Amino acid sequence: MNSEFDIIRRYFNKPVSNTILGIGDDAALIGSSRKTVLAISADTLVVDKHFSPDVDPYNLGYKSLAVSLSDMAAMGAKPRWVMLSLTLPISLVKDGERWLSGFSKGFFELAEKYQVELIGGDTTSGPLNIGVQIIGEVVEGQALRRDGAMLNDEIWVSGRLGDAALALCHLKEQICLLPDEVDQCLAALNQPIARVELGQRLIDLAHSTIDISDGLMADLGHILSASNKSAKIYLADVPCSEPVSTRLDQTLAVSCLLAGGDDYELCFTAPCAKHQEIENLSNELSLPLNCIGKITDGNGLIVYDRAGKEITLEKKGYDHFGS
């Protein structure tokens, strides 16, 4: 069963229904409805950079799609189609198919949940590398962008931040989590939940949106530079779970919270007039939405600690080419 075509047929070629032509030809054919525009995004997951070589293949398949779904969420788009480019070491193909069946199971479980269709890709051998391209639809003129933040907007964050980064610190033995904390934080790291529904619901509420993949400060920073604005945020209001909050006296935990990355929550800005509607949405979706600060003009991004003192962090987020 080792040919490239066997792998595609056996693990990845699933029936499609919202696609004109799926896997099997030189290109897939899709048709979007006339009033929508396509939102398209690519992500690459590289071994030793985004995941360790011994990661559970199910988790890896799941996360490969989750991070792309998160990009759709941040645009307010409905995810529709996905392409998968796999570079696989021969050893993984020869391991009795354990790896491929785990990976494809994790991938398709999420694809089915969001009704996203795999319509093509590429399969080659080499050092493990996973490329995902995702295509979504959003009504013309309604996409959520980074460049829409306005003066005096409130800044909001969904869910709770820091768990995934804390899990990574635990795996690197920089901190020691308790057993039940390990489970919670590893779940955040391995199976992040893309806020797809929230993204679409924010279309009428938010001025600007981004998903937090590289860390709150870095990603909010992208909104600020795209919108040419500044901001003040308050550490005390940044939502974090127990494992993070019980360690906020440690710089490492603060840095996980503000600059850790891999959260895949949404950070968005919205006018104060929408405050109540956003709280209502939070109740409706049973998803915490917390206001953490305000858009200002001047002075960049300032983060205040509980005592009202400015926090300065060495690293504001993950940068592949940073030192």
Q: Where along the sequence are the contacts to Mg ion (CB under 5 A)? A: 122
Go through 207-225 and write b for each residue having 16 or more CB atoms within 10 A of its CB, e for each that does not: bbbbbbbbbbbbbbbbbbe
Q: Using CA atoms, how far apart are residues 207 and 142, in angstroms rounded to an integer?
A: 10
Q: Does 148 bind ligand ADP (CB under 6 A)?
A: no
Q: Which of 12, 51, 62, 99 binds ligand ADP (CB under 6 A)?
A: 12
DSSP letter for each residue of 228-281: T-EEEEEGGGS-B-HHHHTTTTSHHHHHHHHH------EEEEE-GGGHHHHHHH
Q: Quick one: what does residue 23 bind among ligand ADP, Mg ion, none, with the CB cut-off 5 to 8 Å set by partner type?
A: ligand ADP
Q: Does 25 bind ligand ADP (CB under 6 A)?
A: yes
Nearer to Mg ion, 126 or 300 (CB): 126
Question: Which tokens is 107 given?
Answer: 């991938």
Which residue is closest to ligand ADP by CB? 120
Nearer to ligand ADP, 122 or 242 (CB): 122
- Number of DSSP helices (H) and strands (E) in the chain, helices first: 11, 10
Q: Does 202 bind ligand ADP (CB under 6 A)?
A: no
Q: Which of 19, 23, 233, 255 binds ligand ADP (CB under 6 A)?
A: 23
Q: Does 123 bind ligand ADP (CB under 6 A)?
A: yes
Q: Using CA atoms, how far apart are residues 287 and 281, in angstroms rounded to an integer?
A: 8
Q: Does 238 bind ligand ADP (CB under 6 A)?
A: no
> Which is it for the CA torsion 99, 24, 131, 211, positive or negative?
negative
Which residue's entry shows tokens 């509980």? 306
Nearer to ligand ADP, 122 or 305 (CB): 122
Interior angle at CA 262, CA 259 and CA 266, nearest 5: 85
Q: Are 80 and 200 in contact (CB under 8 A)?
A: no
Give the nearest distance from C-beta 61 to ligand ADP in angstroms. Answer: 11
Fill in the per-residue mask, 161 to 200: x = in contact with ligand ADP (CB under 6 A), - = not in contact.
Answer: ----------------------------------------
Give the nearest distance from C-beta 104 to ligand ADP in angstroms. Answer: 9
Nearer to ligand ADP, 47 or 302 (CB): 47
Name residue 303's amino acid.
V
Q: Are 121 and 83 in contact (CB under 8 A)?
A: yes
Give the nearest distance from C-beta 44 to ligand ADP in angstroms. Answer: 14
Give the nearest distance from C-beta 90 to Mg ion in angstroms. Answer: 18
Q: Using CA atoms, how far apart are residues 323 and 312, in angstroms rounded to an integer?
A: 18
Which residue is closest to Mg ion by CB? 122
Give the nearest distance from C-beta 122 to Mg ion in angstroms. Answer: 4
**Chain residues that interact with ligand ADP, rule: CB under 6 A:** 8, 12, 23-26, 84, 86, 118, 120-123
